[in-house]
Amino acid sequence: MELAVKLNSAPQNEYPIVIREGLLEEIGEHIEASSEGGNAGCGKNFIVTNETVKALYGKYFEGSNKNFSAEFIVIGDGEEYKNFQTYEFIVNELLARKIERKSKLIALGGGVVGDITGFVASSVLRGVDFIQVPTTLLAQVDSSVGGKTGINTRFGKNLVGTFYQPKKVLIDPKTLQTLDARQIKTGLAEVVKYAFIEKTASGKGTFGAFGVEFFDFLQNNNPAEHYPYIIAESCQIKANVVRQDEKESGLRAILNLGHTFGHALEKVTNYTEITHGEGVAAGIACAFRLALELRLVTQDYFNNSIALLEKLGLETKIPENIDRKAVYEAMKSDKKVRDTQINFILPSGPGEVTQRSDIGEPLIIKSLL
């Protein structure tokens, strides 16, 4: 199946999301087909990946198409490598290997690879084309779509980066077969986020892939049996938001449900103890507890939502060894803080969310169970 990401602010930057099992077996043809327009030409292609992913999927990029060739740039595996040092390493490798403006960068891997490759693509030679080939559930349903790129700093997550759209997103759901249960759960945290924002994202609910509300579908089905459609629905909901607000001047902020809490959790654990999805899942639960305290949601909706998180195997509480006060202090460095006020996306009803930045420290701390 194929979806399109359209941008009201820049219609010329529309790009496709192709979702098909077995797509990697014809990856060269898809990459060469993306050369229409933009920096089209025959410059060198470069694949940014890590050793784990290269060992699994590198073969598909070696001789996959007689007209396609690429050089690998291999970085460390993990969130802790999404930093200035890795950014500099990739840039230096590209310059040493004579990258040209007609070259393409291919991000092959999860969210870390996609984010940092996009950032490099947006800045090296003042911008070259890049293509997302996400191999994790989290990257397939979320980070590969929408054009957010960046790196982490000691002050917090994603504080340096750009908005820079890929030319194409190529998704092969078969790559999910190589993920362990923890990585699948990490992706499901972003999937369930879309169920909680669906109506606000589109004004009515998308229902594109199933004809039912996404929340209900996830309640009543096993995600493992429906990955292509779950990926498509998640991407469609995100595309609806990005189309209206590419650079997060308003509506796009709703995609941060659970992330203000989650990013703080990642920061205080040095990006090594919990995955991004684990932080987001716990953060969504915190957002629901805060919304319940503020009477934005009913007890029934709260109960059903926490039950859905638990049904998907997601942790709804912050690990006991994490200092709650430290988490609160980390939130104050979040890039979404305005006039020293922490900005939260909070549930306000089934499939709906709202923004709040008027919440005091005691309530925030109370939500950090």
Convert the pLDDT of each residue in 13-42 to its tens digit.
899 999 999 999 999 888 877 554 445 556
| pLDDT score for 117 | 98
Is 226 marked active-site?
A: no
194 and 262, same domain (yes or no): yes
What domain count does the chain have? 2
> Which of the residues 104, 252, 289, 356 is marked catalytic?
252
> Which of the residues 30, 82, 104, 148 is marked catalytic?
148
pLDDT over 90 at 9, yes or no: no
The answer to whether residues 80 and 271 touch, using CB atoms and an 8 Å cutoff, is: yes
Is 32 marked active-site?
A: no
Positive or negative torsion for Cα 365, 358, 190, 275: negative
Is 256 marked active-site?
A: yes
Max avg pLDDT among 146-160, 210-224, 258-272, 300-314: 300-314
> Which of the residues 79, 190, 233, 246 is marked catalytic?
190
193 and 91, same domain (yes or no): no
The answer to whether residues 3 and 170 touch, using CB atoms and an 8 Å cutoff, is: no
Is 238 marked active-site?
A: yes
Residue found under tokens 């089209």: 40
Q: Of all residues in the chain, what percent carry a pLDDT higher than 90?
A: 81
- In the chain, % helix, strand, coil (3-state, to 5) comes to 50, 15, 35
Burial of 95 (0-12, 13-18, 19+ CB in 10 A): exposed
User: Which of 116, 151, 178 is at the close of a domain?
Assistant: 178
For 10, residues 6+ apart whose C-beta sits below 8 A from its C-beta are: 165, 246
CA distance 304 to 307: 5
Residues spanned by the domain of 111: 2-178
Tell me, letter by letter, the H, E, C secondary structure of 288-319: HHHHHHCCCCCHHHHHHHHHHHHHCCCCCCCC
291 and 168, same domain (yes or no): no
Is 30 marked active-site?
A: no
> Which of the residues 243, 259, 267, 356 is marked catalytic?
259
| pLDDT score for 42 | 60
Residue with the larger pLDDT of the pair 334 and 16: 16
Is 293 marked active-site?
A: no
> Which of the residues 45, 158, 240, 256 is marked catalytic?
256
pLDDT over 60 at 247, yes or no: yes
User: Which of 116, 145, 178 is at the close of a domain?
Assistant: 178
221-250 average pLDDT score = 93
209 and 169, same domain (yes or no): no
User: Which of 178, 199, 220 is at the close of a domain?
Assistant: 178
Quick: pLDDT tens for 126-183. 999 999 999 999 999 999 999 999 999 998 889 999 999 999 999 999 999 999 999 9
| pLDDT score for 333 | 83
237 and 146, same domain (yes or no): no
> Which of the residues 2, 66, 67, 126 is marked catalytic?
126
Q: What is the CATH number of the domain that holds 56?
A: 3.40.50.1970
338 and 197, same domain (yes or no): yes
119 and 56, same domain (yes or no): yes
159 and 191, same domain (yes or no): no
| pLDDT score for 73 | 98
Is 259 marked active-site?
A: yes
149 and 219, same domain (yes or no): no
DSSP 79-94: GGG-SHHHHHHHHHHH
Query: Closest by alpha carbon to 107, among 86, 79, 130?
Result: 130
Is 92 marked active-site?
A: no
Is 366 marked active-site?
A: no
153 and 262, same domain (yes or no): no
237 and 362, same domain (yes or no): yes
63 and 161, same domain (yes or no): yes
Is 148 marked active-site?
A: yes
88-95 average pLDDT score = 98
> Which of the residues 167, 185, 193, 238 is marked catalytic?
238
